[in-house]
């Protein structure tokens, strides 16, 4: 078999995708499972998690839902421990779960700031902290963080979200420097505007304005992001660490 095709055989790999119950996370779970990985995913809504698990069970690959709130240090640790008990290893951690609580700074409540930072930034710390020990021991691991174009260029009304997403970039680069000698890579994917529940509220006028700024003239699909995840987790990306891969149809080029 060709080296390139073999690189996309993920059998024998165990993965955790946080926030895999819908949207981008769900597409990542499906893609990794299709390539042979055993994929665990979490979310806070157990009903949705069970429904997504039932849906994915009808597709190729092995997937399992574990309810967990990643803003909790303890729940994140227990989540990773459960996977390690069941699989004996965790190869891929995709820190995908994220929320928005938009408001302009004049009106932003402390709770809105805290909620976003606690899930998007601290949640990624919680899961990474829980996962790296076993990765270091095995001298293998791939960390991925879902940031956003907003983390790179800012956005009025999203100071909390932009700060959390910019924070993930510094976090990931630090992981890349700390862990490269242990064969653990850490990278960021910064999506542009992707069609999911998170962007469903954008009104028609704003959507038109947005499309005018995107050279590709379309919003991204969840598969556009899953494709980038697959590449960065594959051995084809073994020499790529500490990077930010922008997947945004050309909205931002830097």
Ligand X SMILES: NC(=O)c1ccc[n+]([C@@H]2O[C@H](COP(=O)([O-])OP(=O)(O)OC[C@H]3O[C@@H](n4cnc5c(N)ncnc54)[C@H](OP(=O)(O)O)[C@@H]3O)[C@@H](O)[C@H]2O)c1
State the nearest-atom distance from the C-beta of 59 to ligand X, in Å: 17
Long-range contacts of 25-28 (CB under 8 A, 24+ apart): 25/94, 25/96, 25/97, 26/52, 26/56, 26/222, 27/222, 27/223, 27/225, 27/226, 28/94, 28/96, 28/225, 28/226, 28/229
Q: Please choose, out of 81-89, 91-99, 133-141, 227-235, the segment that lies near ligand X by the rule CB under 6 A.
A: 91-99
- β-partners of residue 185 are 142
Measured from the CB atom, is 37 or 228 closer to ligand X? 228
Q: 223 and 191 in contact (C-beta within 8 Å)? A: no
Structure tokens at 49: 């998690």
Residue with tokens 């990278």: 187
Measured from the CB atom, is 43 or 141 closer to ligand X? 43
Residue 122 touches ligand X, criterion: CB under 6 A: no
Site for ligand X in 187-206 (CB under 6 A): 191, 193-194, 196-199
Site for ligand X in 41-70 (CB under 6 A): 42-45, 48, 68-70
Residue 167 touches ligand X, criterion: CB under 6 A: no
Please give the residue ranges that form the binding site for ligand X (CB under 6 A): 18-19, 21-25, 42-45, 48, 68-71, 96-99, 119, 123, 146, 148, 191, 193-194, 196-199
């Amino acid at each position: 078999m060709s080296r390139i095709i073999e690189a996309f055989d993920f059998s024998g790999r165990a993965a955790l995708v946080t926030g895999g119950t819908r949207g981008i996370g769900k597409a990542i779970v499906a893609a990794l499972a299709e390539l042979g990985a055993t994929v665990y995913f979490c979310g806070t809504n157990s009903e949705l998690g069970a429904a997504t698990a039932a849906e994915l069970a009808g597709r190729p690959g092995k997937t399992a839902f574990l309810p967990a709130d990643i803003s909790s240090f303890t729940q994140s640790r227990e989540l990773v421990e459960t996977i390690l008990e069941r699989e004996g290893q965790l190869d891929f951690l995709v820190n995908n779960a994220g929320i928005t609580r938009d408001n302009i700074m004049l009106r932003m409540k402390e709770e809105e700031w805290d909620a976003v930072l606690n899930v998007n930034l601290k949640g990624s710390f919680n899961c990474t902290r829980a996962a790296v020990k076993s990765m270091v021991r095995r001298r293998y691991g791939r960390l991925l963080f879902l940031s956003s174009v907003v983390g790179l260029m800012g956005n009025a009304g999203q100071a909390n979200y932009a700060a959390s997403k910019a924070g993930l970039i510094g976090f990931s680069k630090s992981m890349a420097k700390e862990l490269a000698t242990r064969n653990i890579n850490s990278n960021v994917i910064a999506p542009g505007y992707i069609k999911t529940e998170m962007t469903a509220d954008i009104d028609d006028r704003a959507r038109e304005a947005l499309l005018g700024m995107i050279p590709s003239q379309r919003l991204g699909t969840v598969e556009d992001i899953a494709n980038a995840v697959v590449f960065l987790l594959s051995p084809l990306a073994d020499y790529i660490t500490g990077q930010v891969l922008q997947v945004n149809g050309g909205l931002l080029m830097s």
